[in-house]
Structure 1
C-alpha cells in the first residue's frame, strides 16, 4: 500500500511541477525577517511595526527584503465562529491593521501556524481548520505562511496530506500567499512539497548560531550547508530548498545561540561566508537578528547588492560543488545571460591558498569579464584564479559573458 502511494505521489509531483511553471509566486527565493530568534513568545504589534520602520530606514526594503514574518505565539485562540484571533494584549488592534501598516511601508506580512491541533509553542494550531484559517489569513492581507509540523505524526503520508490540505486552502483564497513548509526535512519534502502547494521547504532541523556543531539536531552553518548537496535539482522558480534562517548579525544572542550558551555566535568572516553560501544555494534569505539596531558590519554583509543579485537571479539554479581539494571547496551557480557565479570556500581553521584554472577547474570556457565581488574589482578575462583565504573565509566571483 505504501509503495502504491509513493508511485502515485511521484506522478502527482511531476504533473504539479509542470503546472506550476506559470505560477507567479516566489519566482525568486523569498527575502525578509522572522521574529523567532529575536523575541520568541514576546512577538507583538509594537515590535512588528518597529521592524517595518527599521527595514525601510536601514535600506533592507530597497535591497530586496520584503517579508516580515510573525512566528509562533501570536495566537490568542478561536472565537465563537472558529476564527483565529491574536493575543489581545500583544496584538490589541488585531492583525488586519498591522498588515495594512506593513503594506503601507512597501513590505509584506507573514504569519505562522502548525499542521496539528497546537503549535510548537503549544498555542492553537490549524489542523481541521485549514479552510477557515486560510480565508482568515487572506482577509487579513497575509502574504506568507510558515507552516510548522510539531505535535504531528512522523510518517510522510500524513505529512503530505496535511500540508496539501492547507496548500489547497491557501490557493482557494485567490490571494498570492507564499507557503513555507517547515517539517525540517525529515520526510524528504523536496520530493513532494511542490505537489502540496509549497513554495519553499525546510531541508534540515533549526540552524544554530555557530560555524560547525557536528550535530544535525543542533546544526551549525556548515552542518546545514553540507546537507544541501544532492538537492540541487529540486530548486527553481516557484519552489526552493530552505536551509533555515540566516544567523548573520546575531553575534551569539537569541534562541539560535541556545539558553545554555553552548553556541557563542560567529565572526564577521563566518557571517559573510554564511550569507554568500546561502546566495549560492539560491536559498531564502530570512534574517532574524535585531534589524532595529544593525551594526555596520552586519549592514555590509546583508546589503551587498551583488551577492543578493546572485541569490535572486531569475534563472533560479541552485549552485553545486564543482571542485574540492583538501580544505578548499568551489561552488558554481549558473546565472541569466550565460553568466556564472563562483564561490571559493576555505573550510580550514587556518589560512589557505588557492590556484584554480578557470577552464579546467571551473569549466568556464567563454570569453568573459570577471568581477571580484567582495573587493568590488573588475579583473577582465583571466586564466587563473589565485589568492589566499583566511580561516572560514570565501571569495566570490562573477564571470560575465562578453
Structure 2
C-alpha cells in the first residue's frame, strides 16, 4: 500500500510540474555572456541573431537568444518593474524584441535569485511574478536563466538554496495558469552548489553542475569530471547544464581562449552526448569555418535532441590522477571512456585525456546497449562515414584531447567460432558445469 501511494504521489508531482510540456529536450540557442560579458548592446545582439539566421543555425534548432546580465537599468521603476537599458536599447526593449523575433528566435531572460544580479543590476528576489509579467509584456517567452548572486542573508530568507529557487518556480506556474500559456523553461545557474542533481529536478528543467566555464582545456576537463559524478540525474525534462559553449573562442571571447580544434570538438561532443544545453557563446560575425563546422554537426546534435532517449551517456572507465606543475593543485583527468544509447543505436564517446597521441581500445559490451554475440557497423560522427565493422572490440587513435564519437548499428551475428565464447574472460564458464573458469583446476580443458 505504501509503495503504491508513493508512486501515485510521485506521478502526480511529475504531471503537475511539467504539464506544460516544455523543457523535454536540452535548450539550443545563443547566450551573450561568453563572447561579450557586459560589453554588448541591442545592435550587436541583432548582428548575432542575423548571423545565426544566415549560417543556418536557427534552422538547426538554435532558436532562442539569451540576453545575459547587464541588459536592465540599474534601478527599477517607481512601481518596481524592470526597465530595459536605454543606452543598450535606445529604440526601447519592446521594439528591439520585435526585430529580434522577426528572425525566428525567441528571447529568453536572465536574472538572479538575489536582490541584485551578479553584475549588480536588479535581481528577482521579492519580484518573481512581477518580473515574469514584465518579460511577458516585452515578448519574452522561452527560458528563464536564473543566477545565484546577491541573495539576502539567511535571517531574512530563512531558506536554503532550494527555497530561494523555489520562489521563481512557483511564480512561473502562477503565470502559466493565469494566462493559460506554456510555462517558461526554468534553468538554474547555481554552479553546482549543494548537489543540485538531488533537488533541482523537483523545481526546474535544468541546473548548472559546476562553476563558470572558461575557454581552456582544464576548464572543459573539470566540468567533464563533475558530469561524471552527476550524470544519472539527467533525463527528459531534467538536464545537467554544463554551461555555455566555448566553441569558437580560441583567440577571442571573454576571457580570450586557447582551445585547439580537437579540444573544441571534444567539448561540443561531450556537451551534446551528456544532454546539456547547447548555447553558442562566440562572436558569429567572424566565426571561423571550423567553428561553424562544429556547431552545425547534425549527427552530434541529433544525439542531444533525441526524442526517444533522454538519458546521458555514462562513464565506464576512469583515468589516472595527473599532478599539475603547481604542486598545490591536483587535477584528476575526467573519464575518457563513455557510452550510452540513442534512437539510432548504441553510442560511444572516447576522449584522449593525455597530452600526446594515444591509441585507446575497449570492449563493445562495456556499453549496456550493445548485444553480446553481435557485430556492429561503426560510424564516425565527425567523419560522417562508416569506418568498419566491430567484432567484440574497437580501437581508436586520437590526438591529445581529441574525441571519437561513434554510432554502432547492429550488423548481425558475429562470425562463427569466435573465442572466447563470452565477451569478458571473467564471464567464461565451463559449458558443462557452469563453474567459473578461474575456479577450474588448471588441467581442465575449456575453450576460451
- TM-score, length-scaled by structure 1: 0.87
Would the aligned equivalents of 1:17 and 1:194 in 2 still touch at CA under 8 Å?
A: no
Q: Radius of gyration: which is bigger?
A: 2
> 1:2-401 to 2 correspondence within 5 Å?
16-17=13-14, 19-20=16-17, 22-76=19-73, 77-142=75-140, 143-152=142-151, 157-174=159-176, 175=181, 176-196=183-203, 198-212=204-218, 220-257=219-256, 264-314=257-307, 315-324=309-318, 329-336=336-343, 339-359=345-365, 364-365=370-371, 368-379=376-387, 381-383=389-391, 384-401=393-410
Q: How far apart, in 1, do the equivalents of 2:138 and 2:173 lie?
A: 15
Between 200-209 and 94-103, the greater mean CA deviation after superposition = 94-103
Q: How far apart, in 2, do the equivalents of 1:47 and 1:24 lie?
A: 33
Q: 1:16 to 1:185 in 2, by over 3 A?
A: farther
Q: How far apart, in 2, do the equivalents of 1:277 and 1:82 lie?
A: 42
Between 90-99 and 386-395, the greater mean CA deviation after superposition = 90-99
Q: How far apart, in 1, do the equivalents of 2:268 and 2:20 lie?
A: 27
5+ unaligned residues in a row in structure 2: which ranges? 1-7, 321-332, 412-448
Equivalent residue of 2:390, what SS? coil
Instruction: Note the C-alpha offset of 1:18.
Output: 5.6
Q: How far apart, in 2, do the equivalents of 1:360 and 1:290 lie?
A: 40
Post-superposition CA distance 1:179-225 (Å, at most 9, x none): 111111112222222322x121111110111101xxxxxxx000110
Q: How far apart, in 2, do the equivalents of 1:21 and 1:144 lie?
A: 14
Q: How far apart, in 2, do the equivalents of 1:242 and 1:371 lie?
A: 27
Q: 1:189 to 1:355 in 2, by over 3 A?
A: closer
5+ unaligned residues in a row in structure 1: which ranges? 1-10, 213-219, 258-263
Would the aligned equivalents of 1:45 and 1:98 in 2 still touch at CA under 8 Å?
A: yes
Q: 1:282 to 1:223 in 2, by over 3 A?
A: same
Q: 1:13 to 1:149 in 2, by over 3 A?
A: farther
Q: 1:298 to 1:13 in 2, by over 3 A?
A: farther
Instruction: Note the C-alpha offset of 1:130.
Output: 0.9
Q: How far apart, in 2, do the equivalents of 1:86 and 1:37 lie?
A: 21
Q: How far apart, in 2, do the equivalents of 1:354 and 1:114 lie?
A: 43
- Show the counterpart of 2:3: none
Equivalent residue of 1:119, what SS? coil
Instruction: Note the C-alpha offset of 1:79.
Output: 1.6
Instruction: Note the C-alpha offset of 1:324.
Output: 4.4
Would the aligned equivalents of 1:209 and 1:252 in 2 still touch at CA under 8 Å?
A: no
Aligned residues: 377
Would the aligned equivalents of 1:280 and 1:332 in 2 still touch at CA under 8 Å?
A: no
Q: How far apart, in 1, do the equivalents of 2:271 and 2:396 lie?
A: 23
Post-superposition CA distance 1:48-85 (Å, at most 9, x none): 21111110001111221111110111111322221111
- TM-score, length-scaled by structure 2: 0.78
Equivalent residue of 1:42, what SS? coil
Post-superposition CA distance 1:208-247 (Å, at most 9, x none): 11101xxxxxxx0001100111322211111210111111
